[in-house]
Structure 1
Amino acid sequence: MIEASDRVNRASDTPVRSPVVSTPQITRPGGTYDVDRSDAEYRSWLKEAVRKVQADANRSADTHLLRFPLPEQWGIDLYLKDESTHPTGSLKHRLARSLFLYGLCNGWIRPGRPVIEASSGSTAVSEAYFAKLIGVPFIAVMPRTTSPEKCRLIEFHGGRCHFVDDSRKMYEASAALAAETGGHYMDQFTYAERATDWRGNNNIAESIFRQLELERFPEPAWIVATAGTGGTSATLARYVHYMQYDTRICVADPENSCFFDGWTTGDPDVTCDRGSRIEGIGRPRMEPSFVPGAIDRMMKVPDAATVAAVRALEAAIGRRAGGSTGTGLWSALKIVAEMVAEGRTGSVVTLLCDPGDRYLDKYYSDAWLAEQGLDIAPYTAAIGSLLETGVWPD
């Protein structure tokens, strides 16, 4: 959340419109900073920054819709929307682009001022890319346990990593850095659901339905998402309602996350005392961008089931994916099993959020599983039983 003091500072950033005799300055905690040099110069920079971000969208082809193999006689098709093919390798590329356009058009992102984000990794990678694209510094505030590969990618794109020992402290640390540097705290957890145009404009929901047009079940029975900010599930659900589809939206939540508990109890203030082991999803509080009233169902997914699912995905289609993909895939497979049991046909869609090579030392490491005390064998057996017999074991 952006603190009141930060809003006051933003108001002080209003460009000087009269002839400038000497460069006006503003004082913030940690130093004194020049106000942007002139209205005309700032507007010229702004137009060019927005053009660059929009040009990135024009250069980016749509992501693929992959089929997960299921027995033909079931009459059920399972798809994964492969978001790992974005320029920064994850679903968060869409979010980062939207957040940068939102921040630029609101006048929050300014030339020479850093953008700061609280992130467990993938959002920070994508935001570092867009910060470099428009020429502003970027600082990622992240848990110390974030995968080294994600840290390397942030630095590759010109960003800097600022680590915290407790993931619950990322918000305060990000706001403090913004105040100290005169920068903008992007705050994906507040703005994700409003920065994206959920009515269409080539968002992920519109893309899924367009790609399904020639399939045998073009209107999916279910779309399964996972929640980090909650922005993707909000976009999917709002679009479905807006377009008057019968598709239902399910959100899969990992261990050590509050979205499921908040949704089932109706308590927006629910918290938990540990961070999620599944990077990119799961939060210790109900984030402002999560819209519980828009979705139809939630599932709580054990972390061992998540790992079993990403390994089953590799065995099925030869693709390694990150943990968040496994959380969604596990829930999608359970929905498939329910449809088989009830004799229903149709399609189910979930997301391939990012590539597995960012997590080789975690979800694909037996040593990490042993260290975490995770036994994936029962969950691997459950997936195998479903795919061989059509029955989900009790």
Structure 2
Amino acid sequence: MSGIYDSILDTIGNTPVVRLSRINDGAASLYAKIEAFNPGGSVKDRLAAAVIEEAERSGALQPGQTVIEATSGNTGIGLAMVCARKGYPLVIVMPENASLERRKLMRFFGAKVVLTPAVERGSGMLAKAIEIAETHGWFLCRQFETPVNADIHARTTAREILTAFRDRPLDYWVTGTGTGGTLAGVARVLKRERPETRIIVCEPDNSALLSSGISQSFDERGLPTRTHTRFRPHPIQGWSPDFIPQIVGNALTDDLVDEILPVSGDSALEAARRLATEEGILSGISGGATLAGALEIARRAGQGQNVLCMLPDTGERYLSTILFDHIREEMSPAEEAISRSTPGYRFDRPPSFALSSSPAGEIRISQSAQFFVDEAIHDPEHRVVMFALTWCEFCWTVRKLFEAAGIAYRSIDIDTPEFQKNGMDGEVRKALRARIGSPTIPQVFVGGEHVGGCTDTLAAWRDGSLAARLAFVGASYTPGACANPESLLPQWVQAKA
């Protein structure tokens, strides 16, 4: 892309097709359409923009009306981006076992996320979304049934594929299916304009709903009347909910699918990991699953054949899932060996800089800094005082504890520009060190009494001494809150513990 755009929504679509050379061990040429290049990171950006814009045109969505949808994640992220740009409140309903990154991304865009029990599966999240929409009069996107879902892919994704392969044959197009919009929209265009292209749909091998031949029924509200009898839990988020969506069922009925290919969870994970390490492309589990199917097709197809697969999203929203469970946070033995191969900047050596070792009595401290520290510690309006740094992870940890425990406090952030004027930040640190004997930040005081640094404060909350001190000085707090305060520490610290 190049040029200037009026809106982030104008950058949706026109995603690249990339040849996969290192990972491909088949005779056919293998290509991938990388939907992570959409601004929201997935193929669902196309649907999100289209369904909102169509609802605006039809009058189904009024200015300021709340939008709601049931999704395992990518549609929700796309909708959160679109609604943020257009100014609509958004509520997403999703199962509790969807990745943490997806929840956080949606909330970061300003959406609210309502979780449903994992045991209720996809049909449970859908029923909850319908229930909430009907109760509050909110606009429900209905991604599993709206014609807009397939139409946008017919107008955009399919046309982009035809353009990419305008000078060469496209023998196989391989995709997975969740709602079925990508499948139905692209397949109906290919069947019409490139009838030689075989449409391959992948599904989890242990949850083979499409190949079962068992149809799905729906009630008048669009809810599945039952969980499909062949559904089993699987690791491929975004694929195969516990029912066959109406769009998918219609694609099968209309003979848009030439082959249904089962893919194992293990092969999906392996393919996604290989895609990153061999091709430099970051994709999620569903992309790995589609790639695994495409690799099989490429092995099966002959020389000169072309295979295109869809990679629907980026792998960054799977960091908390099984896809990354083999990735260590701490250094591996090989990485430690590299560190030890040179003498400096190692954890088993003194730091490259040293804090002053002068006894506290030899430190020259300005009277104004001493007065400021004394006055702050004994501030009658703030029983809890923390000397902190704005961007220190350990200060963030203490702040999170205080917020979780309902503790009102004053944070004196000595790295702000005001304190840096005339070197007051350094003077305050010297005054603190003279008082408590420690140069580290944060430092917490309750009612004028020193509690300690970050880990000291966490330990005091765990053993009850901090609560007792708060009660003694009349500071309010929530008893029993944050039973495991060490869980608030940065992840890299917890990994070392």
TM, length-normalised to structure 1: 0.72
Asked if the contact 1:209–1:219 (Cα under 8 Å) also holds between the matched residues in 2, the reply is no
Distance 1:362 1:55 in 2: 32
Is 1:361 the counterpart of 2:320? The answer is yes
Is 1:180 the counterpart of 2:135? The answer is yes
In structure 2, the residue matched to 1:352 is 311
Rate the CA distance shift 1:326–1:59 in 2: closer, same or farther, 3 A: closer
Asked if the contact 1:219–1:245 (Cα under 8 Å) also holds between the matched residues in 2, the reply is no
Report the 3-state secondary structure (helix = DSSP H, G, I; strand = E; otherwise coil) of the residue aligned with 2:188.
helix
In structure 2, the residue matched to 1:210 is 163
Counterparts of 1:74-85 in structure 2, within 5 Å, are 76-85=28-37
Deviations 1:329-364 (A, max 9, x none): 01101111111xxx4421100112111111122243
Report the 3-state secondary structure (helix = DSSP H, G, I; strand = E; otherwise coil) of the residue aligned with 2:246.
coil
Asked if the contact 1:222–1:248 (Cα under 8 Å) also holds between the matched residues in 2, the reply is yes
Is 1:285 the counterpart of 2:243? The answer is yes
In structure 2, the residue matched to 1:314 is 276
Segment drifting more, 80-89 vs 68-77 = 68-77
Asked if the contact 2:149–2:182 (Cα under 8 Å) also holds between the matched residues in 1, the reply is no
Distance 2:300 2:256 in 1: 22
Rate the CA distance shift 1:296–1:355 in 2: closer, same or farther, 3 A: same
Deviation at residue 307 of structure 1 after TM alignment: 0.5
Deviation at residue 221 of structure 1 after TM alignment: 0.6
Is 1:93 the counterpart of 2:45? The answer is yes
Distance 1:72 1:280 in 2: 25
Distance 1:338 1:252 in 2: 15
Is 1:336 the counterpart of 2:289? The answer is no
Distance 1:118 1:332 in 2: 29
Asked if the contact 2:150–2:185 (Cα under 8 Å) also holds between the matched residues in 1, the reply is no
Deviations 1:134-170 (A, max 9, x none): 2111011001011111111101111010000022311
Report the 3-state secondary structure (helix = DSSP H, G, I; strand = E; otherwise coil) of the residue aligned with 2:54.
helix
Report the 3-state secondary structure (helix = DSSP H, G, I; strand = E; otherwise coil) of the residue aligned with 1:63.
coil
Deviations 1:359-387 (A, max 9, x none): 1222433369xxxxxxxxxxxxxxxxxxx
Name the amino acid aligned to 1:232. Answer: T
Rate the CA distance shift 1:73–1:345 in 2: closer, same or farther, 3 A: farther
Q: Structure 2 unaligned runs (5+)?
A: 218-227, 328-497
Report the 3-state secondary structure (helix = DSSP H, G, I; strand = E; otherwise coil) of the residue aligned with 1:129.
helix
Asked if the contact 1:141–1:164 (Cα under 8 Å) also holds between the matched residues in 2, the reply is yes
Distance 2:203 2:24 in 1: 29
Report the 3-state secondary structure (helix = DSSP H, G, I; strand = E; otherwise coil) of the residue aligned with 2:144.
helix
In structure 2, the residue matched to 1:223 is 173
Report the 3-state secondary structure (helix = DSSP H, G, I; strand = E; otherwise coil) of the residue aligned with 1:246.
coil
Deviations 1:24-69 (A, max 9, x none): xxxxxxxxxxxxxxxxxxxxxxxxxxxxx99555344621111111
In structure 2, the residue matched to 1:267 is 215
Aligned length: 306
Asked if the contact 1:112–1:135 (Cα under 8 Å) also holds between the matched residues in 2, the reply is yes
Deviation at residue 74 of structure 1 after TM alignment: 6.5
Report the 3-state secondary structure (helix = DSSP H, G, I; strand = E; otherwise coil) of the residue aligned with 1:189.
coil
Report the 3-state secondary structure (helix = DSSP H, G, I; strand = E; otherwise coil) of the residue aligned with 2:14.
coil
Segment drifting more, 61-70 vs 267-276 = 267-276
Distance 1:140 1:72 in 2: 38
Rate the CA distance shift 1:256–1:92 in 2: closer, same or farther, 3 A: farther
Asked if the contact 1:271–1:286 (Cα under 8 Å) also holds between the matched residues in 2, the reply is no
Segment drifting more, 268-277 vs 317-326 = 268-277
Distance 1:76 1:222 in 2: 10
Asked if the contact 2:36–2:42 (Cα under 8 Å) also holds between the matched residues in 1, the reply is yes
Rate the CA distance shift 1:130–1:299 in 2: closer, same or farther, 3 A: same
Q: Percent identity?
A: 27
Rate the CA distance shift 1:147–1:332 in 2: closer, same or farther, 3 A: same
Distance 1:71 1:164 in 2: 38
Counterparts of 1:190-201 in structure 2, within 5 Å, are 190-191=145-146, 196-197=151-152, 199-200=154-155
Name the amino acid aligned to 1:162. Answer: V
In structure 2, the residue matched to 1:135 is 87
Name the amino acid aligned to 1:349. Answer: L
Distance 2:91 2:173 in 1: 33
Distance 1:191 1:313 in 2: 33
Name the amino acid aligned to 1:120. Answer: S
Q: Structure 1 unaligned runs (5+)?
A: 1-52, 369-394
Report the 3-state secondary structure (helix = DSSP H, G, I; strand = E; otherwise coil) of the residue aligned with 1:146.
coil
Asked if the contact 1:198–1:238 (Cα under 8 Å) also holds between the matched residues in 2, the reply is no
In structure 2, the residue matched to 1:114 is 66
In structure 2, the residue matched to 1:16 is none
Deviation at residue 73 of structure 1 after TM alignment: 11
Deviations 1:92-144 (A, max 9, x none): 11111121122222322112221110000010000111112221110110010
Distance 1:111 1:221 in 2: 45
In structure 1, the residue matched to 2:367 is none
TM, length-normalised to structure 2: 0.58
Deviation at residue 243 of structure 1 after TM alignment: 1.4
Report the 3-state secondary structure (helix = DSSP H, G, I; strand = E; otherwise coil) of the residue aligned with 1:155.
helix
Asked if the contact 1:227–1:282 (Cα under 8 Å) also holds between the matched residues in 2, the reply is yes
Distance 1:163 1:336 in 2: 40
Distance 2:149 2:238 in 1: 19
Distance 1:226 1:132 in 2: 29
RMSD of aligned residue pairs (Cα, Å)? 2.5
In structure 1, the residue matched to 2:364 is none
Deviation at residue 248 of structure 1 after TM alignment: 1.0
**In terms of Rg, which structure is larger?**
2
Distance 1:282 1:252 in 2: 10
In structure 2, the residue matched to 1:32 is none
Asked if the contact 1:199–1:242 (Cα under 8 Å) also holds between the matched residues in 2, the reply is no
Rate the CA distance shift 1:159–1:257 in 2: closer, same or farther, 3 A: farther
Distance 1:54 1:228 in 2: 31
Rate the CA distance shift 1:59–1:244 in 2: closer, same or farther, 3 A: closer
Asked if the contact 2:64–2:88 (Cα under 8 Å) also holds between the matched residues in 1, the reply is yes
In structure 2, the residue matched to 1:252 is 202
Distance 2:23 2:110 in 1: 46
